[in-house]
Structure 1
Amino acid sequence: MTRALLVSLVSCLLALHQARVIQRCDMAKLLYKEDLHGFEGYSLNDWLCLAFVESKFNTSKINENADGSFDYGVFQINSHYWCNDYLSHSENLCQMDCTELLNPDLLSTANCAKKIVSGESGLNNWINWKLHCSGRPLSYWMTGCSLA
């Protein structure tokens, strides 16, 4: 019964936040605007690769994990550690509601991501970044993009 209620609640959240996929160059501009370029030594290419492998640039993505936690937004930030979704225990290290991570302006998402990356593991906190982005040539992510 509880599991069905959680799935129903997540479905409602998804309906409220219809898929919002941002084009690659527009994502680059948003990430640049939120001062992620160069943050902790990571380029916009790193952040773009992360956003793509985690959500395919979908700011409204929500994913349920096997442990009952959920991942939210373009960077798929986990509710167990970083935000409060009121569905499961959360350390809420970013001191925010998880729904804020679904906002397409990326302000809250960028602030939380900065907190995550400031730890000793950096972008390695994201397994998908480690598997698909780390140590690979990433310059093509900015191809054809202007930040002006």
Structure 2
Amino acid sequence: MKAIGVLALIGCVVTVIESKIYSRCKLAKIFSRAGLDNYRGFSLGNWICMAYYESHYNTTAQTVLEDGSIDYGIFQINSYTWCRTEKQQQKNHCHVACSALITDDLTDAIICAKKIVKETEGMNYWQGWKKYCEGRDLSEWKKGCDVS
């Protein structure tokens, strides 16, 4: 059991070294081009705010949860339900490897996030969004960004 903890710690250190942390405006452009602005009624500000509170815009963020599952990437998408690791019991609703959610190419993460919003209760999936973004004026999140 200690070996698993040590390996997880080493994995986190390696992840930090190789991680890409986007700027708010760079993400605003990527998210806008990917069709997230007003996707299922959620403004671009919602997506930028949520990504900040979930991962601080870190593409390789990983959080090990108490149940042993892991939240991956910029949107902190959970391994048990949404993506696939080496284990067999995951549901993998996004039909994607969890490793694809922690790259600088956000395509798979965005596709999966859209699926989550469409198939669940909107953005309520993300605790960071519920706590810090829901019901607030989020116009500041894209302010100063050339989003077109």
Q: TM above 0.5, one fold?
A: yes
Partner of 2:59: 59
Structure 1 residues 26-78: Cα deviation after superposition (integer angstroms, max 9, x where no partner): 01011112111111011110000000000010011011001000000001000
Q: Tell me if the contact between 2:15 and 2:61 (Cα under 8 Å) persists in the aligned partners.
A: no
Contact 1:31 1:37 in 2 (8 A): yes
Q: Once the two structures are aligned, what percentage of the paired residues are identical?
A: 38
Tell me, what secondary structure is at the counterpart of 1:35? Answer: coil
CA distance in 2, matches of 1:99, 1:21: 17
1:14–1:60 CA contact under 8 A, matched in 2: no
Partner of 2:14: 15
2:125 matched to which residue of 1? 125
Measure the CA separation in 2 of the matches of 1:118 and 1:131: 20
**Per the alignment, in what secondary structure is the counterpart of residue 82 of structure 2?**
coil
Question: RMSD over aligned Cα, in angstroms?
Answer: 1.9
1:41-60 → structure 2 map (5 Å cutoff): 41-60=41-60
Which residue number in structure 2 is paired with residue 90 of structure 1?
A: 90
- Match of 1:40, SS? coil
Aligned-partner Cα distance in 2 for 1:70–1:88: 14
Q: d(CA) in 1 for partners of 2:35 and 2:19?
A: 25
Per-residue displacement from partner, 1:101-127 (whole Å, max 9, x unpaired)?
A: 012221000000010000240001111
- Number of residue pairs matched? 147
Matched with 2:26 is 26
TM-score, normalising length from structure 1? 0.91
Partner of 2:111: 111
